[in-house]
Structure 1
């Protein structure tokens, strides 16, 4: 095969998942009916947020006379703050994310959720990008296609670690992974984010088997990248210790998020993707 034909074949294999990933993310995004993506506080914007009693420092031109006429108190109509923010995504593409006990890998679910969230945010006028300086945050529908292209890539590393390059001060961030690797990389990333005043969320995506540990008897455990292998004749004896370590990992992630003012949630590939998307969207709203 000539170099040109090999290049084209490789490009077609790489591009093949993109329409399906983008279509699935678009479909998931349309199942979530949301209003404009505001900041849930008073500020610059066109969307009504709340009425509040007028204060001595408020100018007379700000008073809503129609609402005030229904009581003895003068009221001000606050608008919701809708200044666009930058949201930076890190989605783990390491080999561990390719594990599945069913029809959908953790990597695919993580990419669909991240891309669906990006679509919702982009529709709300936000700027969305990826960590690592490969795709700076921008607005517009075209950004979703660029996101889909990069989210379809895979890494040969066994486990991933959050990349904080390109995370703008006082922006928002989302880390999506199974977080089964070395926790030190996550701790360092969270420290860097906190130092820059970045808020956000951690979404842990796991396969149902990773929660249930249904293994017994002779079993060979191997990392998805093949670098780690463990064989046992009594896999069932490992269950309690494994579940304890998994619970400890979740507690550590929750603690890191809590200290940094972030949100933490664990999602299983066997659960509804729509419910996870709603959680993610709500997490991006919080300050």
Structure 2
């Protein structure tokens, strides 16, 4: 009975947080004024894109004679490419993402979910199909997909550290993985290898709390993983700072190297930084990775 009440309380708390998260994501997306993602190139479609000077080999039927009559050259009227992209998102739901080094600062998971949802809002507005990896929301277009994504990315999986889920990734699509990537890096390497074999390109966004970057601890300190499976007590935490920072730099370098070797992009984002800059970077990274 107690377990049922606890589950109900957690469910109600989560349900109450969903509208706030969606409102934040909508607001964040609204601060980014961009054109339609993935469509700005010539191709088959109905919408006019641009005029360009005719070149050898252009069929006479493509020349816009009315526009050409206004100048000395001949101009071709190009239409805009309108094939929608498929973008799959993975948001780490492990316990390590619940860490925050300051009671006034939301946990890493909140920032990862906010960025993922705001990116989805932008992509869906641009006519793209967006979904979640694994058994989450399958890629679809349209405004209604937002609620499916919102519900799918806000649960926890109980593991101490997460590993990218590459199940159901569509071939030659795009993907974005949000995590602190503090678990086994070999799992990230395996996931990227599978994605690359399917022709998937995308971005890794490593979300860290500022405390994880600065290691401000000194004196007697007990370090414990969010799930409680790892625990270390020391009387001189300050003596660990240099070694910790070196290992963190190595980890970030390895994740970035894995991304680069796979043709992916990498960003390290701190939960204390403004979210808008990361969202702009993500949007541009997907455009570059086309």
* TM-score class normalised by the smaller sequence: over 0.9
**Structure 1: which 5+ runs fail to align?**
none
Partner of 1:182: 184
Distance, in Å, in 2 between the alignment partners of 1:4 and 1:182 is 33
SS state of the match for residue 156, structure 2?
Answer: coil
Picking from 120, 129, 132, the partner of 1:130 is: 132
The secondary structure found in structure 2 opposite 1:173 is: strand
Aligned to 1:263: 265
- The reply on whether 1:239 has 2:241 as its aligned counterpart is yes
CA contact (8 A) 1:207 1:268 kept: yes
Q: Could you give the per-residue CA deviations for residues 14-50 of structure 1, whole angstroms, max 9, x where no partner exists?
A: 3121111111111111111111223443212455555
Answering whether residue 75 of structure 2 is matched by residue 75 of structure 1, we say yes
CA 1:95/1:8 → structure 2, altered by over 3 Å: closer, same or farther?
closer
Q: How many residues matched?
A: 287
**Aligned in 2, Cα 1:278/1:166: closer, same or farther, shift over 3 Å?**
same
1:156 aligns with 2:161: no
What's the TM-score, normalizing by structure 1?
0.92
The alignment yields a C-alpha RMSD, in angstroms, of 2.1
1:235-277 CA-partner distances (Å, limit 9, x unpaired): 1121111111111122212222212221111111111111111
Give the 3 Å change call, closer, same or farther, for CA 75–110 of structure 1 in structure 2.
same
- Find the aligned partners of 2:2 and 2:186 in 1 and give their Cα distance: 45
Unaligned runs of 5+ in 2: none
Give the aligned partner of residue 98 of structure 1.
Answer: 98
**Range with greater deviation from structure 2 (104-113 or 241-250):** 241-250
| TM norm structure 2 | 0.91
